[in-house]
Each structure stands twice: as structure tokens, then as C-alpha cells.
Structure 1
């Protein structure tokens, strides 16, 4: 299944690892074995870490680089009460950027109302709020950097 990985928010360590491996498969055509080779681990280790949500911290950067996703680092930051955003480069926002922000904020308010009515769980509501806050923070930093834009060198914003 090819999913929208831009809206994926991990709920625990195991789902973070599964998410990284899923994005590696869907977007970068990398198997578990391929990711393991790139990080000098065995595929047995990756399957074990995926099942129990426990990976040596020293291997997280190599794992995320091999997968092309940083869901495990994002989950760790979120678990510590931190907000993680992609660093903007100071470019003008386009209509698609603003529409995405509006969608994130609408979903956050919707999830808050659903939680208040007992129609959704706290994890889902918090994930939606986190996504909306991250979207706002990205636009804030992007506007602050607008007068001194950076070069986008080979990475996603």
C-alpha cells in the first residue's frame, strides 16, 4: 500500500520503525534487507527491532538515513514534549502550502471536538494537534527566514 507518508505520525517506537521501513519500501524501493545492508546490520535485527520497538540509539541516525525517513527521531522528540518541524529555507509559501496548513488545522479542531464527544481517542487527537502546530511553526520560521533565504541543497523542506 502506497500511503501519504507526509501525514504519518508515529504513536510508539515500533510504529516509528515500521513507518520508516514502510516509507523506505514505498518511496525509495528499499527492502528490509536493503536497509539493513546500508546500516551494517542484519535483517534479523531490523525485524526484531520492528517487533519490539527497541533499537540501539547509536543506530537511529544510520537507520533513518537508510530509510529516508525520521519517524523514530520525531517520535522520541514528541514523547519528550518537543515539537519537530522540517527546517524551512525562507521561500514564499504557495497556495498548496497554505491549503495544507488549513487542512491540518481543520483536522486538529475536528479531532478536539471528537475527543470532547468521546468519538476518538487521545492519541489520535494529540497527533492531529501536533501536526497542526508543526504546520504553523513551519510557516512562522519560513516567514522569519524570508528576508535571508537559504539554498535548498538536495533535500525536502
Structure 2
């Protein structure tokens, strides 16, 4: 089984976003739903199962859930469902060749999804997800170019 590329996935519903967060926590952090609930301070893990299954997740627990899972699919879906783009805060750092290659792959996927959609080979949700990912990636690079003249201090310790 091949590994998922988590950066390129786009959720199609809140329930799908919550399931993707759970799957990411299991695959990348080796966390079960019981351990996720424990890390969030929820005493009954069955409540977490119920919220994921129904899509009725308490709003005040979305950020703790995403922090424990290590990815922000629920926030991404909420932003996209409101017709907005979610762009990471640019740091002004120089892009590497891998960053540009990732951008090219995301844009290529979006164009391929559009071609497939107009040829009736792809559904609307997949096409919208690919377009959303491309727009967000381009917007992040735009912000990075704007801030390149005044880069922020590297408190996270990223090596260049």
C-alpha cells in the first residue's frame, strides 16, 4: 500500500475532514482514537467516535483535535466551505527546488482535474479540491515573495 501525500489531500465534507485527521494521527503519529481523546482531555473516547461519525464536532474542540492529530483538515474544510482560501503565514524564506516542484505538481493536478471534469471523467468535489489546493499553494508563494525582502526570524529552527 502506498503512503498518502497528506499535503495534497482536500476534504470534501466536515466528516471527511475529521476522518482524514484521524487517519493522519494513526498513520503518522501512531495514535488510536482512544489516545487522541486522552490527549484532548476527553474522558469518553466514544464521544469522539460519535462526533466524527455524525460530523457534529464541538467547535471549541476542533483546534485541540487538529493539534493532537497533527494536521488541520477540519479548519481547511471550514474555510473552503465559506468560499475563502486558507494560506499559511508567509515567512519570506527562499523557496527550494523541492518547493517549486511541489507547486508545479499541485498546479498540474489542478489542470488535469479540470480536463477530466470537462471531459466528464472526474467529479466536481475532486476537481474543486484540486483547484483549492492549487490556489492556496500559489497564494502562499505570493505571500512569500512579498515578504522576501523582510524575512522573519527563524524561531522554529528550520535549516536552509
Q: Considering the TM-score relative to the shorter chain, is it more than 0.5? A: yes
Q: The residue matched to 1:141 in structure 2 has which SS?
A: helix
**1:96 aligned to which of 95, 98, 102:** 98
Alignment equivalent of 2:69, drawn from 67, 70, 73: 67
Change (3 A) 1:34 1:127: same
Q: Over residues 97-118 of structure 1, what are the superposed CA-to-partner deviations in whole Å (9 max), with x where a residue is unaligned?
A: 1111111111111111111111
Greater relative CO, 1 or 2 (CA 8 Å, sep 6+): 2
Distance 1:103 1:95 in 2: 12
Whether the 8 Å contact between 2:90 and 2:140 is mirrored in structure 1 is yes
For the pair 1:50 / 2:52, whether they are aligned, the reply is yes
Write the mapping of 1:136-151 to structure 2, written as runs, cut at 5 A.
136-151=138-153
2:33 — aligned with what? 32
Whole-angstrom CA distance in 1 between matches of 2:33 and 2:156 = 24
1:86 counterpart = 2:88: yes
Does the alignment pair 1:21 with 2:27? no
TM-score (norm 1): 0.93
Aligned residue-pair number: 156
1:155 is displaced (CA, Å) by: 8.7
> Could you tell me which of 133, 137, 157 is aligned with 2:135?
133
Instruction: Give the Cα separation in 2 of the matches to 1:119 and 1:51.
Output: 29
User: TM-score if structure 2 supplies the norm length?
Assistant: 0.91
Tell me if structure 1 keeps the 8 A contact 2:8–2:106: no
Stretches of structure 2 that go unaligned for 5 or more consecutive residues are: none
